[in-house]
Amino acid sequence: MTPLSPRGVGAHRGGAAGAPENTCAAFREAARLGAHMIEFDLRRSADGEIAVLHDPTVDRTTGGRGALASLRWDEVRALDAGSHHGDAFAGERIPSFTEALAAIPRDVWINVQIKEGEPIAADVVRRLADDDRLTQAFVAGDDATLAAAREACPEVLVCPLSRQRTRADYVEHALRLRAEFIQFHWLRGAPEPELVARCKDRGLRVNFFCGPRDDAAALWQAGIDFPLVDDVAAALAAAGRLGIAPLSR
């Protein structure tokens, strides 16, 4: 089994600063730079293909229009998902889940976020199992998604995203679910030290979805394991100053 990093840089949507978000180009670039975790989002097309896309529509990140759920996979594959990021990425496509997995090395944590309301959890975890990724990947989503994932594969690692009234409630909720990860959000600021300590004491790995002004170095020093960032290169430079080495390729 390939050892995985206990902490490091998480590439949000593959690292949206350096390449088109949620594309194989982004995943390959994050891996090349040495990111320790790659996060991406999953939704379903009209004909059931599991696609890597954050928004419910293709409008923002491609030259097309419409809800992914209303488009067939052949229609989705015809869209250019790279030109909005620059001419060098023209022709980059929205990848399938299978293609995303193939682009990610086996020593990188895979943070698989299933978007709310998408009934694909069982298919996702079966694909992770078939590709021997269950110890490398975890499923992030709402409680219904995590329940469906565990019903299909009880050993799957999970990260609850159902927000609670307070952050303390969120930590207790994650512990009740026997989750392996928890993911705080920048909109509520950095988590209180005592909450981070409780997570660590109970074996929860701690992610933090960074905002535009968050200092990754300060987050590691506060006990966060994986800041999720758009600018992977900058975060890796900050990590290096703290003795967190990038993964070598």
Considering the domain boundaries, does residue 86 fall inside one? no
Considering the domain boundaries, does residue 116 fall inside one? yes
- pTM of the predicted model as reported, rounded to 2 decimal places: 0.97
pLDDT for 2 equals 72
Q: Cα–chain-centroid distance for residue 131?
A: 18
Domain that holds residue 206: 10-57+96-241
Q: 120 pLDDT exceeds 80?
A: yes
Considering the domain boundaries, does residue 76 fall inside one? no
Considering the domain boundaries, does residue 144 fall inside one? yes
Considering the domain boundaries, does residue 80 fall inside one? no
Considering the domain boundaries, does residue 194 fall inside one? yes
Q: Are strands 137-141 and 157-160 parallel, antiparallel or unpaired?
A: parallel
Confidence of residue 44 (pLDDT cuts 50, 70, 90): very high
User: Do residues 74 and 46 make contact, with C-beta atoms less than 8 angstroms apart?
Assistant: no
| Number of structural domains found in the chain | 1
CATH code of the domain in which 28 resides: 3.20.20.190
Considering the domain boundaries, does residue 246 fall inside one? no
What percentage of residues in the chain have a pLDDT greater than 70? Answer: 100
User: Do residues 36 and 227 make contact, with C-beta atoms less than 8 angstroms apart?
Assistant: no
Q: What is the pLDDT of residues 62-75, one digit of tens each?
A: 999 999 999 999 99
At 150, which amino acid appears? R
Please list, in sequence order, all residues whose beta carbon lies within 8 angstroms of the beta carbon of residue 140, skipping any fewer than 6 positions away.
39, 111, 112, 113, 114, 158, 159, 160, 161, 181, 183
Tokens of residue 64, six digits: 């097309």
Considering the domain boundaries, does residue 189 fall inside one? yes
